[in-house]
Structure 1
Amino acid sequence: MKSKKIKNKHYTNFATGHINITIHGYAFVNIEGFQKDIFIPKNKINRALEGDLVQIGFRKNRKGIKKAGEVLKIIKRKNIKFIGILKFNIQSNLKHASVIVNKIHVNIIIPINNKNLKEYHHNDKVLVQIISWPKKLQNPFGKIIKIFGTSGEYNTEIFSLLEEYKIPYKFSKKIEDEAKQIFLKKNLDTHLRRDMRNIRTFTIDPFDAKDFDDAISIKKLNFDIWEIGIHISDVSHYINEETLLDKEAYTRATSIYFVGKVIPMLPKILSNDLCSLQPKKDRLSFSYIFNIDSKGKILKNWFGKTIIRSDRKFTYDEVQKIIYEKKGDFYEDISTLFLISKILTKKRLKNGAIYLEKVEVKFNLDERKNPISLYLEKHNDAHQLIEELMLLTNRKISEFVSLNFNKESSNKFYIYRIHDKPDIQKIFFLKKVIEPLGYFLDLKNLKNSINNLLKKIKGKPEQNMIENLILRSMNKAKYSTKNIGHYGLSFIYYTHFTSPIRRYSDIIAHRLLHYYLNNNANKKIKTIEFYEKQSQYCSDKERLTVDAEREFLKYIQIKYIKKFLGKEFYGIITGFTDWSIYIELLLFQIEGMVRLRDIKDDCYVLNSNNCSIIGKKKRKIYHLGDKVKIKLIDINIEKKQIILDWNNYEKNTK
């Protein structure tokens, strides 16, 4: 937006916008209505920090092209508190320290006296607040308001990350007391609940899971028909709207799964006990029960509250072994469910769903939470079995509400998980990247073409890079009361219903379904605007959580590969900038960086297509997706950087 004109004899144009400062010290200001950002030189930033709302002055030449500008005024700081690493400097007899903050371009000076000298330590990770910034100084002064511990240690990195993302990790005494009261009452009332305790039921989860959201029951009705129940923990039965516990769950919106630690949405007495569908215990659930034949045709649907008793818990590995060896506990039931899941997968793909199987990087930690080994967890038959049944449940429930209730009245609605069509510019970029690698993308039949591409790259070195590009080309799925369908799954109706212990969006879905099923005239439903606001909030918190989980995973990955310094590895080129090349280390599935200035055999520059670099003398070209051999030469845990060297190594031909 344009600002009021201020007096300044050097400039004829003035505007207001947010500043983006590069790691090299110069900046750009985004001005509403301008096609290009205004460039700000290093010496014209005038104490602005990343993201600040600033007022700038600039000139235009005769052709109307905007020249470099200057920050004239800081209207609003984006932030005055930062997390960084404390470094001591002793020059002459003047004692002071600096906090190095990766996310801003200047260090923050911390005055040191005898009192805090004993309190602070070199390489402490700290939360610092800017208290002043004299005009004549290049750096601001700050004060330390929290110390997390030595940089690089597990607990230090966890709790500083939680602070940075403003994620609460402790429950107040009032919240814990409220949860305890719910636990003590238990309230296992079977009134108006379908009793499923005599039907074979079990859970399938990761080996370290404690919060069992879902259980499956199966009963053979005749030679060709089975009754299958998908039972989801009835969290909304225990947590009433507007209670302290409900407000806390909404604030958190989701559980967070770091490597080696879970930050739960609900207190553990609920998430790991009362609401968890543990074996050999009566548990309340909200269920989708259906009859299905051997061809995958659903003959009958039922939705409602139940009480179940799980017979046993399985891990994914145990179920995978039973499927592979064709023997073991509940083999016949598991085999039937697996065959049904394969039919459901086939139907979904035929209907146009994109089938993206991402391999997850997992770590084993020692007693001190240091990573000691890495393994890649692939999507196996057991995962497919659970995934398809959960997808079916989420689809059928949203379909049931939409077709049976939403059309009757304008004030009846639901919370949907929606996914818009992909960004066409990113699809064009994907097409441009894969063609030099020998792959093709048909834009007229995009979904089938993407699925064919995914099949062709399976097992190839460039698989992970291309899969990531496909993911980046897609819009983010989100929650909304305004249904547009789910592009990636090719579903007209879809919701999240199956994980209420760890997602608040699912609690909303439970409450609305219960309201509609009971035609609850005594309870007034809130407005669509209220639920749309909650949907947007859950979407925002989900994205923030994903970012935090990824950042912590990168810390664990970098800490793990530090032991391999000086070793040689194969990698795939995944990105270029004007100054560097990004390479994914295939063994670890993490990106490192080669600085262009460090390559000795030629002077490489970025081609205009941003998909390749070319040597000025030898004209040698490197493309995205090329496999190269590199050496791991440096690790910076604080900046989460991996520095690589590929001098004297040739590009590997496929």
Structure 2
Amino acid sequence: MSKKKQKHNSSIKQVLTQMVLDIFEKNGNIPQNYKQVSAALNVHDDEARKVILEILKDEAFAGVLKEISHGKFQLVELKTFVEGKVDLTNDGSAFIVTDDTDESDIYVAPRKLKNALNGDRVKVYVYAKSKGKRKEGEVIEIIKRAKTEFTGIVKLSERFAFFVPDDRKMMHDIFIPIADLNGAKNGIKAVAEITDWPPEAKNPIGRIKHILGEQGENDTEMNAILAEYGFPLSFPKEVEEESEAIPDVISEAEIARRRDFRNVLTMTIDPVDAKDFDDALSFRKLDNGNYEVGVHIADVAHYIVPDSALDKEAFDRGTSVYLVDRVIPMLPERLSNGLCSLRPKEDKLCFAAVFELDDNARVINEWYGKTVIHSDRRFAYEEVQEIIEAKEGEYSEEILTLNALAYKLRDAKFKNGAISFETTEVKFKLDEKGKPVGVYVKERKDAHKLIEDFMLLANRKVAEYVSKLGKGKNKYTFVYRAHDAPNPDSLGNFAQFAARFGYRINMKSDREIAKSLNFLMTDVEGKKEQNVLTHLAIRSMAKAIYTTKSSSHYGLAFDHYTHFTSPIRRYPDVMVHRLLFHYLNGGQSANAEHYEKLCSHSSAMEKKAADAERASVKYKQAEYLKDNVGSIFNGIISGVTEWGMYVEIIENKCEGMIRLRDIADDFYTLDEKNYAIIGQRKKKVYQLGDEVRIKVKNVDLAKKQIDFSLVQDR
């Protein structure tokens, strides 16, 4: 028999085995013989019934079934079916995280994973639980692979090749037939795709899909990070062609359909190196003494037709990705940096939220609709900051008024219970080859906050406007940005830890919590423990997500909030524009179930983009410290685990690990409740936030890993 036919028969038998076991499960584990099982499966062919008898005997031999009387079988343990996601551990076993939040995770031993990989969605048999024991099970079906493409290194021999994945949770090397190397040489970094995994094979079979380049080269490593998190390295040809086919010229008919702001002072304020400008502010003083501030957002939805190749690609990506040295846009450059970018001295199409504000920044009137603008000036943040500080310069009167209004919007937000998380953002100075030659912390000043406050205003008011459409169960479907209140236990643990630094968190009400956290954030600014406390506070909070469910935003203390202001770089904003325009034109409520699925995908892609960004920072930190092996620095303990403690160097914010086995003066263990590592004999304590001296011991660029050793006090 050919190998192909053997493999086909093996697959059929595997499926039939599952169907046979299902019969016992569905019938309450009543003892049955092969004839009864065949009848239940509607199998009457003698040859097929023989195969079923063979399966019953094989499963009895394997210990899954037991023969309780001659020819009658029963499951050894009654099992139940559960679906969930594989969370692989370092030893190759896994926990299956189910959709039911009340259910505990199910442990699966390595031999019972059936080739399931980390993140895969699987179907699991759960064994009957013995008293006091954890739930255990085995994977019986892989419903959906989390990923089939991996970055890694090609290892070549004369007759075959293996591919060693970078992903530490991918425990299997991938076998690559010589014919599928796609020109890859030994030691090269590449992207491999799993094409097959026969049930009896230890390793999956794959092919080399892309060659990334030599290990250690900047472009190679940055592209490897993108590929690792599932972001494409280029746009498909049909997407590029579709974007190129969009006309440059704005027709007079299109302008006539819009509110014309081309004669109103309009400006953009962005980072000095920005290429896409998706928001602009228009400003004028009204005859009644109030101010009109327009928040004009690039009208991406005008250019992207639903279900077009452009639209599908933007949805799949979900977001632009911001790595240390580059931006991978959600849209092709012709749109992101050209047609949609609100460049100065050019007519541009926008979707706007226009507000009439009084001297106290209270909204007197609001208007939403399509506009055409002509930006008078493209400002960098630094230029606006100079004008704010010097109180003079081009458009200084307008900028100072906008800044004063922004302050009032900010004060109102904090009085209402918003929380101010000012995290330190680490930036690298790179040479022409992308190698880091310096590290600095990016400062957020009034110019940044001015833009942020007006964007928050637009996002909040758009969400409030749509939330009032319809009544009760007939509320209109919309895409909201939701942020739940923190878990009381997580917040309680953080409050206990903050108390060690002299900060008290009042837990009486949401408003008191916010007030306490804001005091902490202000007081801790510039202190050595700032990063540790800020990151711990953020970790105690719930994660913000996109959803159609109209819920509040805890961190901002807004009853309704959405993302309206960045459609060039976020797909949810495109959805918001489409829905808002539909409703402004008298459209009925959209399908909530459909939009909830789109929201779920958008939230997942946002998380992947954030993980990719963190990976690029980790790589550059490792690369920066590569030339500093043996150097001694002062650091702050930024994390504790059962195998070591993370330390962030105060001088450059690079983070590495001191492994507990490398601390020679005692045997140290984790005290999880107190965020501490404690010596068992001498009782010396190393606690989160403590200052320590470290030596850079080792740097592994491939793993983005930095190892420190503790410089012990004499």
* TM over 0.5, shorter chain: yes
Alignment match, 2:350: 285
Counting only pairs closer than 5 Å after superposition, residues 128-527 of structure 1 correspond to structure 2 as 129=194, 143-187=207-251, 189-221=254-286, 224-403=289-468, 405-407=469-471, 410=474, 412-444=476-508, 445-519=512-586, 526-527=590-591
CA contact (8 A) 2:482 2:552 kept: yes
Alpha-carbon distance between aligned partners in 2 of 1:233 and 1:226, rounded to the nearest angstrom? 22
* Letter matched to residue 341 of structure 1: A
* Letter matched to residue 265 of structure 1: M
Q: Which sections of structure 1, spanning at least 5 residues, go unmatched?
A: none
- Deviation of residue 514 (structure 1)? 2.0
30-39 or 503-512: bigger deviation: 30-39
* Letter matched to residue 366 of structure 2: N
Query: Percent same amino acid among aligned pairs?
Result: 39
Alpha-carbon distance between aligned partners in 1 of 2:604 and 2:118, rounded to the nearest angstrom? 21
Name the SS of the counterpart of 1:313 in structure 2.
strand
Equivalences, count: 639
Alpha-carbon distance between aligned partners in 2 of 1:94 and 1:401, rounded to the nearest angstrom? 64
CA contact (8 A) 1:84 1:128 kept: no
Alpha-carbon distance between aligned partners in 2 of 1:636 and 1:597, rounded to the nearest angstrom? 18
Indicate how the Cα distance of structure 1 residues 28 and 541 shifts in structure 2: closer, same or farther if over 3 A, else same. Answer: closer
- Deviation of residue 187 (structure 1)? 3.1
CA contact (8 A) 2:194 2:204 kept: no
* Letter matched to residue 225 of structure 1: N
- Deviation of residue 507 (structure 1)? 1.8
Q: 2:629 aligns with which of 565, 580, 583?
A: 565
196-205 or 533-542: bigger deviation: 533-542
253-262 or 460-469: bigger deviation: 253-262
Indicate how the Cα distance of structure 1 residues 611 and 178 shifts in structure 2: closer, same or farther if over 3 A, else same. Answer: same
Listed one character per residue, the Cα deviations across residues 565-619 of structure 1 (whole Å, up to 9, x for unaligned) are 2111122212222211111222333431111010011111112525112112211
CA contact (8 A) 2:123 2:143 kept: yes
Alpha-carbon distance between aligned partners in 1 of 2:626 and 2:696, rounded to the nearest angstrom? 9
Indicate how the Cα distance of structure 1 residues 638 and 224 shifts in structure 2: closer, same or farther if over 3 A, else same. Answer: same
Name the SS of the counterpart of 1:341 in structure 2.
helix
- Deviation of residue 345 (structure 1)? 0.6
Alpha-carbon distance between aligned partners in 2 of 1:49 and 1:381, rounded to the nearest angstrom? 47
Alignment match, 1:86: 153
Listed one character per residue, the Cα deviations across residues 307-361 of structure 1 (whole Å, up to 9, x for unaligned) are 2111110001111111112221111111111111111111110011111112211
Alignment match, 2:666: 602
* Letter matched to residue 90 of structure 2: I
* Letter matched to residue 539 of structure 1: S
Alpha-carbon distance between aligned partners in 2 of 1:19 and 1:229, rounded to the nearest angstrom? 48
Indicate how the Cα distance of structure 1 residues 281 and 38 shifts in structure 2: closer, same or farther if over 3 A, else same. Answer: closer
Alpha-carbon distance between aligned partners in 2 of 1:158 and 1:114, rounded to the nearest angstrom? 28
Alignment match, 1:577: 641
- Deviation of residue 450 (structure 1)? 1.3
Indicate how the Cα distance of structure 1 residues 398 and 80 shifts in structure 2: closer, same or farther if over 3 A, else same. Answer: closer
CA contact (8 A) 1:45 1:70 kept: no
Indicate how the Cα distance of structure 1 residues 495 and 143 shifts in structure 2: closer, same or farther if over 3 A, else same. Answer: closer
Alpha-carbon distance between aligned partners in 2 of 1:236 and 1:385, rounded to the nearest angstrom? 26
* Letter matched to residue 158 of structure 1: M
Name the SS of the counterpart of 2:698 in structure 1.
strand
CA contact (8 A) 2:637 2:647 kept: yes
- Deviation of residue 411 (structure 1)? 6.2
- Deviation of residue 232 (structure 1)? 1.4
* Letter matched to residue 620 of structure 1: K
Counting only pairs closer than 5 Å after superposition, residues 108-127 of structure 1 correspond to structure 2 as 108=173, 110=175, 119-122=184-187, 124-127=189-192
CA contact (8 A) 1:58 1:67 kept: no
- Deviation of residue 554 (structure 1)? 1.9
- Deviation of residue 448 (structure 1)? 1.3
- Deviation of residue 46 (structure 1)? 7.9
1:38 maps to 2:107: yes
Higher radius of gyration, 1 or 2? 2
Alpha-carbon distance between aligned partners in 2 of 1:413 and 1:74, rounded to the nearest angstrom? 35
- Deviation of residue 109 (structure 1)? 6.2
CA contact (8 A) 2:466 2:580 kept: yes
Alpha-carbon distance between aligned partners in 1 of 2:210 and 2:301, rounded to the nearest angstrom? 37
Q: 1:99 aligns with which of 151, 154, 164?
A: 164
Alpha-carbon distance between aligned partners in 1 of 2:115 and 2:546, rounded to the nearest angstrom? 39
CA contact (8 A) 2:163 2:175 kept: yes
CA contact (8 A) 2:481 2:562 kept: yes
Indicate how the Cα distance of structure 1 residues 290 and 87 shifts in structure 2: closer, same or farther if over 3 A, else same. Answer: closer
- Deviation of residue 644 (structure 1)? 0.5
CA contact (8 A) 1:630 1:649 kept: no
* Letter matched to residue 307 of structure 1: V
* Letter matched to residue 645 of structure 1: S
Alignment match, 1:591: 655
CA contact (8 A) 2:466 2:476 kept: no
Indicate how the Cα distance of structure 1 residues 516 and 79 shifts in structure 2: closer, same or farther if over 3 A, else same. Answer: closer
* Letter matched to residue 496 of structure 1: H
Name the SS of the counterpart of 1:589 in structure 2.
coil
Indicate how the Cα distance of structure 1 residues 589 and 113 shifts in structure 2: closer, same or farther if over 3 A, else same. Answer: same
68-77 or 284-293: bigger deviation: 68-77
Alpha-carbon distance between aligned partners in 2 of 1:416 and 1:115, rounded to the nearest angstrom? 46
CA contact (8 A) 1:129 1:144 kept: no
Alpha-carbon distance between aligned partners in 1 of 2:263 and 2:617, rounded to the nearest angstrom? 42
Indicate how the Cα distance of structure 1 residues 494 and 54 shifts in structure 2: closer, same or farther if over 3 A, else same. Answer: closer
- Deviation of residue 460 (structure 1)? 1.5
Indicate how the Cα distance of structure 1 residues 356 and 419 shifts in structure 2: closer, same or farther if over 3 A, else same. Answer: same
CA contact (8 A) 2:418 2:554 kept: yes
Alpha-carbon distance between aligned partners in 1 of 2:64 and 2:477, rounded to the nearest angstrom? 57
CA contact (8 A) 1:98 1:109 kept: yes
Alpha-carbon distance between aligned partners in 1 of 2:628 and 2:352, rounded to the nearest angstrom? 50
Indicate how the Cα distance of structure 1 residues 37 and 609 shifts in structure 2: closer, same or farther if over 3 A, else same. Answer: farther
Alpha-carbon distance between aligned partners in 1 of 2:205 and 2:273, rounded to the nearest angstrom? 46
Alpha-carbon distance between aligned partners in 2 of 1:170 and 1:387, rounded to the nearest angstrom? 31
Counting only pairs closer than 5 Å after superposition, residues 6-25 of structure 1 correspond to structure 2 as 7=60, 8-9=62-63, 13=77, 20-25=87-92
* Letter matched to residue 359 of structure 2: S
Q: Which sections of structure 2, spanning at least 5 residues, go unmatched?
A: 1-20, 30-58, 66-75
